[in-house]
Structure 1
């Protein structure tokens, strides 16, 4: 699984603090996911909801990733 969270955050000009506040996921945990950590399903959905994206647009299967 490949994470596109870093690219999404950078492209949108989003601060980690904003995403943390909006999703309820700690900043440290978000940093872990940005650096390749695999999220727990509930946290992945919370982040996706905050970003208004489907989970599979943030974390893609490496075989189908662009």
Structure 2
């Protein structure tokens, strides 16, 4: 599934997002590669970036 996680990370490491969101680093990598996010994890990631889940995953 298409997403904008890499773009929103803006050069920061995935570990930064993992620490801020509480979502495991390996799970975030799965999402970056196109995995479908669990809703609670999608909201946690969106909260870190201050955007809607639809801004990250437009096809949800």
State the TM-score, normalized to the length of structure 2. Answer: 0.89
Q: Which runs of 5+ in 1 are unaligned?
A: none
State the TM-score, normalized to the length of structure 1. Answer: 0.81
Greater gyration radius:
1
CA RMSD after TM alignment: 1.5
- How many equivalent pairs are there? 60
**Secondary structure of 2:36's partner?**
coil
Q: Which runs of 4+ in 1 moved over 2 A?
A: none
1:55 counterpart = 2:27: no
1:43 and 1:18 map into 2 onto residues whose CA distance is 15
